[in-house]
Amino acid sequence: GDIPAHIGGTTLFGDNVEDEWFIVYLIREITKEFPGLAARIEDNDGEFLLIEAADFLPEWLSPENSDNRVFFYKGELHIIPLSETEEQECDLSAASPTISQALTLLSSCSEEFLAAAPIRAAVYKRISGYPEKIQASFHRAHCYLPAGIVSVLRQRPSLVAPAVQAFYLRDPVDLRACRSFQTFPPDERVMTVVTFTKCLYAQLVQQKFVPDRRSGYTLPLPSHPQYKAYELGMKLAHGFEILCSKRSKVSPDDKRNVLSGPLWERFLSSLKEKQYFKGEMEGSAKYLELLHKAEDYFQQSVTKPESSVEANPGDEIWALLQTTTIDLKEFEREAACLPPEDDDSWLDLTPDDLDQMLKEARNESTPSSNEEEEKYDLEAVAESMKAFVSKVSTHEGAEMPWSSDESHVTFDVDSFTKALDRILGADSEELDSDDLDEEQEFDFSDEDDEDLDAENQREDEQVSPNELIGSLKSYMNEMDRELAQTNVGKSFITQKKGASSVDAASSQSAGPDSGVEETELTPVDVDMNLVANLLESYSAQSGLAGPTSNILQSMGVHLPENADRTGSSKGAAE
């Protein structure tokens, strides 16, 4: 269609997200090595590069208009903006540009579209450490495997990945093939070293699995020094057997028909001209091995041209088994002097390790914070919550203030009064349906109807803002007096007498009975109650994630660890 010539690909990275970022590193290096290329990458979440740098994106950029805007070009991350300058020839009035438009813009003025430094830093941090990090992601382990699998892995070490996935994602139908083990029987097994990625090794070692008795695979006692090698080999053998059971069933007649036509003759002559057989004598073992590979490739290309690049792992394993000579004695000699396997203590994560990882992640999200100078000011906690409440929220969520100093809490009297008018129904002329239903249900008396009419008349009258606020205060005072007779007030922390001395003096001048009410209606310390409740909630999280830590950390407020889990949060606040 309108998409220019390009090279594309799809990778199933499964549980190993680091594979995805390794591909990002490769793509960046390709665009750096070949400056004329532009590359874009996305996954099932969409533009995951933007997700990684979500804290630093401009306001206009959203998932709806981010298509065809994020590119790697000349080794750098570029984001095409929403509005174009006069020099640009393409019209970007649509929500997202086309690929052709985006490429034209990149080639004409790529410097203007270079992503902001914080965005690039967030993305480049995920791919930092490569290519050295490649070796760190490997894990080498001893495995007690059938000789056929050892021979296959010698030629194609990457086949360990589909084998692990086949075992990891097995179902009862797959395990039927593992009852008899026709391809990899357990009779001839040898000890060898297999190279996994850490993700593949974790998937294999963490699976609890007991083999079928009919399979012939037995395990020694867990106290055996090589128990783990036996168990890993058994699981990996199941994965290879499952792959071979899913190979494409091609009859010899079909294969003979494909390899007897003129198309195969031209393909074979082309291979000979390009020295594919490397001067090997026709009929020799090496020649036949190369010939079988060419036949399998040609057959897959003819029968399934759309999948010629991605071969079935089972077919590949089967082809290797047919063309490889298995030397069991050689494998046994090598097993006698195997190199040591890697330490897998990285699988065990202690609470201290987890705390360190969380601390590093927190420092990465707030690079300006200095732990030595960090002060845990409880007043800052209260101010941050006030700033959070004052922010305007939309259907997309609440806006998190990063600092309590960004904006002060404001109070608009006129807006508050208008809102009360709408809530209290000062301009309404009739009751809602719920009130009418209640009137019919409870069969109000005539006196109640007269009271309702009188109230409606009062509501219809125009009330000044000051009178409305004064009436609301009287309502609140009545509610306070009513609640003062209950135990509700005891659950709140009240202000100290020194903090309310002005109120006490005014109450004493009001009359002799006001002293009793003053003791009952002591003002509540809002900030202290807020902090005490937050600390109590934070303590109840027991170091885990929870609403309090999530909200406070999103606003840049980090509470210290609760050293005394048994202490009272209210006492800590005091």
Residue 519 in contact with residue 490, Cβ under 8 Å? no
Do 320 and 182 share a structural domain? Answer: yes
Paired with 427 in beta bridges are none
Lowest mean pLDDT among 18-22, 191-195, 397-401: 397-401
Task: Dump pLDDT digits (tens) for 33-73.
Answer: 998 899 999 999 889 999 999 989 988 888 888 888 999 99
Do 180 and 114 share a structural domain? Answer: no
Total number of domains constituting the chain: 4
Confidence of residue 480 (pLDDT cuts 50, 70, 90): confident
In a domain, 239, yes or no: yes
Supply the pLDDT for residue 403: 45
Residue 552 in contact with residue 559, Cβ under 8 Å? yes
Which residue intervals of 350-495 are DSSP H helices?
Answer: 351-365, 378-390, 413-424, 433-442, 446-460, 465-484
Do 262 and 240 share a structural domain? Answer: no
The answer to whether residue 315 scores a pLDDT higher than 80 is yes
Do 101 and 237 share a structural domain? Answer: no
Do 328 and 208 share a structural domain? Answer: yes
List the helix and strand counts (H, then E) for the chain: 26, 5
Supply the pLDDT for residue 34: 93
In a domain, 177, yes or no: yes
Among 308, 328, 347, the domain boundary falls at: 308
Which residue intervals of 54-171 are DSSP H helices?
Answer: 99-109, 117-126, 132-136, 147-155, 160-168
Task: Dump pLDDT digits (tens) for 500-543.
Answer: 444 444 444 444 444 444 445 667 777 777 778 878 887 887 77
Q: Is residue 131 reached through a cis peptide bond, with omega within 30 degrees of 0 on the bond before it?
A: yes
Supply the pLDDT for residue 453: 58
Give the residue-averaged pLDDT of 438-465: 54
Supply the pLDDT for residue 247: 83
Do 275 and 319 share a structural domain? Answer: no
Token representation of residue 507: 């109450």
Do 111 and 39 share a structural domain? Answer: yes
In a domain, 195, yes or no: yes
In a domain, 79, yes or no: yes
Confidence of residue 574 (pLDDT cuts 50, 70, 90): very low
The answer to whether residue 308 scores a pLDDT higher than 80 is no
Do 287 and 204 share a structural domain? Answer: no
In a domain, 443, yes or no: no
In a domain, 322, yes or no: yes
In a domain, 296, yes or no: yes
In a domain, 504, yes or no: no
Structural domain of 323 = 137-248+314-336
The residue type of 136 is A
Do 213 and 324 share a structural domain? Answer: yes
Distance CA 73, CA 67 (A): 16
Residue pointed to by tokens 């330490």: 343
Do 265 and 240 share a structural domain? Answer: no
Supply the pLDDT for residue 333: 87
The answer to whether residue 370 scores a pLDDT higher than 70 is no
